[in-house]
Amino acid sequence: MSTLAYKILQEHLVAGELMPGGETTIRIDQTLTQDSTGTMVYLQLEAMDAGPVKTELSVAYIDHNTLQTGFENADDHAFIQSVCARHNILFSKPGGGICHQLQLENYGVPGKTLLGSDSHTPTGGGLGMIAIGAGGLDVAIAMAQGACALTVPKVLGVELKGALRPWVSAKDVILHVLKALTVKGGVGRIIEYYGDGVKALSVTDRATITNMGAELGATTSIFPSDENTKRYLEQQGRGDAWKPLAADADAVYDEELTVDLSALEPLAAKPHSPDNVDSVRAVGPIEIDQVCIGSCTNSSYADLMKAAAILKGRKVHPNVSLVISPGSAAILSELARNGALADLIDAGARIIENACGPCIGMGQSPKSGAVSLRTFNRNFKGRSGTNDAEVYLVSPETAAISALTGVLTDGLSAHAALGIELPPIPEPAPGAFRRENAFVVLPPDLPAGAALPDVVMGPNIKPFPRGTAVREGDGISGSVVLVAGDNITTDDIMPSDSRLLPYRSNIPHLAEYCFEKIDAAFPARAKEAQAGPAQGGVIVGGENYGQGSSREHAALVPLYLGIRMVLAKSFARIHRANLINSGILPLVFAEPADADTIKEGDVLVLELAHTQLAEPQVVIQNKTQGAQYRMANGLTGEERKMILAGGRINLIRGEA
Ligand code: MIC
Ligand code: SF4
C-alpha cells in the first residue's frame, strides 16, 4: 500500500518512524550546491572541520553569479573550487549550465536521495528521486554526515489522466496545480504524480512540474520511473542508471487531486505570484516588451527545440526582446549541431550564457513598466531587477509564439490563423548528448594523511555571523522592527539581483539592503533595536512567511541585524529551518488574529526561554501593550537545543 515517496524514504531511513509529522533521519546519497548559496555552505563546512564528504556524490555548481563585473563573483568561484578539492566534491565551472538541469542530465538516479542548497532541487523528482531543497547549513551537514533530519511530510497524490494537446505543455500542468493548491498548498507535503497521464510526459516535462512544486511550498514532488525515464537516461549515455519505480497499485494517499491533461489550455501566472493563474485567453492579447526562455524550469532540449520550431523562418516582433538561456552546455551544443541554434539566432533571439541569468535578475532586467513573459518559476515583484515590471510566467510554446506576435498569444486557439504549426519534436537518439563534461573538475585523489590543498579566499569573503547562547533563566526579547503581511518571500527579506548577488559572501554589506523593497528603513531600525533596551529586534509576519528561495541570507542577515525572533501565522519550510539554524526563534500564533494587534516598536519578551521552550506552547509578553500571546512552539528537541545554543554551528562546535 506504499506510495513511491515512502518506499524511497523507507529505504533511506536511518532513525525515526515513517509517519506524517514524525521526526526522522534519512540517508542522503547526493548533494548539490550552487554558488550563490554555496559560499555560505562551504564556509560552514570548513567551520565544522569536516573531512571528505560522506555522500556517494556531491557537486558544486557555478550558475547564479556568473556576471563577472568585478572580482567578487570570480573570487567566490575560486573559493568554492578550492574547498571542493579538500572534501572530494565535483566542481562544475561557470558556463556548464544550471545546477538542476545538469544534475538531472549527468547524475540523477531513480530511487536515490538528493539534498540541494537551492529550493528547486526537487527537479530531480522528474527522474524518480527524492530530491529536497534545504538551507546551506543543512546541506553542509549532509555532506559531513551523509544524512539529514526530515519531518515526514504527508503525501498528496495527483492523478494525471489523458494527454496534453499540442501548444499545451508541462508548464500549464503545474500552473494548473498552483491555481488549485496556492503557494502554500504544498507545505508539509510531498506531491506524488501517478496515473495513466504520466506516460504522456517526458522526463524533462516531469522535471518542469517537480521543479515548480517548490512554488507550492512542497517538501518535494516525485514521478515514477518508467520506460520514458529509461529512454531519457539512455539519451544521456547513462542507461545503466535506470530502474523501474512506482507506487504500489493500492497505494493510499493522504490527499488527492485529479488533473485531466486533455482538458488543459495554455495558462499564465500573472504578476506577482506564481499562483495568480489564469488562462492566456482570459488575460488577453496584452502588449509585451520582453520574452525570456530558460531557467531551471523550462530550458531543456525539447523546450528549446519547440521554441526553435515556432520561430524558424520568422522574425521576433520589433517591440520585443527575446532572450534565450539554455539549461546546459550539452543542450546548446546539440542545438548547434542540429541547426536549431541558427533558427533561433536568425529569428532575432539573443542567446545568453547557460546559467540562471535573468531568472535571478543577473542581467536582462526589462525596461520600466515592461511586460515580460518568462518561462521561469517565480514572478515576485522586483525579482527581474525592474521593480515596476509586470512578469507573467508561461510555457515555452506561449513564450515563442508571443515573441512573434508582440502580444500575449494562446497558441492553441491562434496558431491556425497565424499559419504557425508546431511539429512533434523527435526524441534524441540514445547517447545523443555529449558526455565529455568539459565543465566538470574532478577532485584530486588525495592519499590518506596528505595535507589538504589550501582554501583560497578573496577580500570580499567575510565570516558569517554567529548567534549568542541563551543562559538558563534568561528570556529572549526584542522590539518589533517590522509588521509584515502574508506570503513574504525571501526575495522580500533579502533581495537578490546583479547588484547584490556578488555580495552573497559578505553579510555586512547585504545587511544594508534587508527588506529594501518593502521598507528601506528596516536595517537602521533593526540596528537601533539591537542597541536599545530590548537588545534585539522581532519581526511579525503573516501566513507562509519566508516562501521562495532557500537562501540562508534571509536568516543570516536578520541575525546580523540583531533579530531574535520571528512571530508569524505560518512559515515556509526551508526558511523556518534556516531561522532555527541561525539561532532565530520562529513561533506561530495560536490565535492568528493576535498578529494583527501588534505594532512596530512594541517590546516583546519570551521569559524563561529554557523552561518555556520545553513545552508545546509558550507565552510572549507584550510589555508595551500589556498583552500576552499564546504561541505554538513547533521546535523538535534538536531544534530547541540549536535555539538555546545561539545557532546550529555553536551547537556542533560545543560552543553553547
Ligand atoms: C531562486 O530561484 O530564488 C534561487 C536564487 O535559485 C534561490 C537560491 C538563492 O537565493 O541563492 C533558491 O531557489 O533557493
Ligand atoms: Fe537559477 Fe532561477 Fe532556477 Fe533559481 S529558479 S536555480 S535562479 S534558474
Residue 567 contacts residue 539 (beta carbons within 8 Å): yes
The distance from CA 348 to its chain's CA centroid, rounded to whole angstroms, is: 31
- Report d(CA 122, CA 215) in Å as an integer: 11
- Report d(CA 573, CA 113) in Å as an integer: 18
Pocket test for ligand 2, best of 120, 292, 377 (most atoms within 8 A of CB): 120
pLDDT at 49: 85
Nearest Cα residue to atom 3 of ligand 1? 549
Residue in 119, 53, 43 with CA at minimum distance from that of residue 82: 43
Cα-to-centroid distance, 133 and ligand 1 (Å): 10
Cα-to-centroid distance, 88 and ligand 1 (Å): 24
Strands 113-116 and 30-33: parallel
In this structure, which ligand is nearest to the CA of 326? 2
* Residues 6 or more apart whose Cβ sits within 8 Å of residue 641: 651, 656
Residues with pLDDT less than 70, the chain: 434-436, 655-656
Nearest Cα residue to atom 1 of ligand 2? 356
Pocket test for ligand 1, best of 551, 553, 556, 578 (most atoms within 8 A of CB): 551
DSSP state string for 555-608? HHHHHHTTEEEEEES-B-HHHHHHHHHHTPEEEEESSGGGGGG--TT-EEEE-S
Q: For residue 241, what are the β-bridge partners? A: none
Pocket test for ligand 1, best of 65, 80, 118 (most atoms within 8 A of CB): 118
Nearest Cα residue to atom 6 of ligand 1? 118
Pocket test for ligand 2, best of 92, 356, 496 (most atoms within 8 A of CB): 356
Atom of ligand 1 nearest to the CA of 551: 10
Residue in 546, 457, 470 with CA at minimum distance from that of residue 505: 457
Cell of 423: 511539429
- Report d(CA 345, CA 343) in Å as an integer: 6
- Report d(CA 242, CA 265) in Å as an integer: 33
Q: Which residues line ligand 2 (CB under 6 A)?
A: 64, 98, 118, 120, 295-296, 356, 359-360, 376-377
Residue in 544, 501, 537, 542 with CA at minimum distance from that of residue 521: 537
What digits encode the pLDDT tens for the residues 275-302? 999 999 999 999 999 999 999 999 999 9
Q: Is the peptide bond before 272 cis (omega within 30 degrees of 0)?
A: yes
Cα-to-centroid distance, 356 and ligand 2 (Å): 5
Cell of 398: 506561449
In this structure, which ligand is nearest to the CA of 504? 1
Nearest Cα residue to atom 7 of ligand 2? 360
Pocket test for ligand 2, best of 212, 324, 360 (most atoms within 8 A of CB): 360
Cα-to-centroid distance, 254 and ligand 1 (Å): 29
- Report d(CA 383, CA 380) in Å as an integer: 6
Cell of 577: 529551518
Cα-to-centroid distance, 594 and ligand 2 (Å): 36
Atom of ligand 1 nearest to the CA of 378: 2
The amino acid present at 285, given as its one-letter code, is P
pLDDT at 654: 85
Q: Distances in Å between the alpha carbon of 276 and those of 176, 269, 443? A: 10, 5, 44
The amino acid present at 598, given as its one-letter code, is I
Angle (nearest 5°) at CA 622 between 616 and 628: 45
Angle (nearest 5°) at CA 610 between 606 and 616: 75
Cα-to-centroid distance, 119 and ligand 1 (Å): 6
Q: Which residues line ligand 1 (CB under 6 A)?
A: 36-37, 64, 118-120, 360, 496, 548-551
- Report d(CA 181, CA 220) in Å as an integer: 15
Residue in 236, 397, 372 with CA at minimum distance from that of residue 308: 397
Atom of ligand 1 nearest to the CA of 377: 2
pLDDT at 1: 85
First-to-last C-alpha distance (Å) of the chain: 45
Nearest Cα residue to atom 3 of ligand 2? 296
Atom of ligand 1 nearest to the CA of 120: 13
Cα-to-centroid distance, 118 and ligand 1 (Å): 6
Cα-to-centroid distance, 359 and ligand 1 (Å): 9
Which helix (H) or strand (E) segment is 206 a member of?
Answer: helix 203-211
For the CA atoms of 359, 361, 365, 370, the dihedral, rounded to the nearest 10 degrees, stands at: 60
Cα-to-centroid distance, 434 and ligand 1 (Å): 28
Pocket test for ligand 2, best of 118, 212, 362, 364 (most atoms within 8 A of CB): 118
Cα-to-centroid distance, 360 and ligand 2 (Å): 6
**3 state SS of 324:** strand
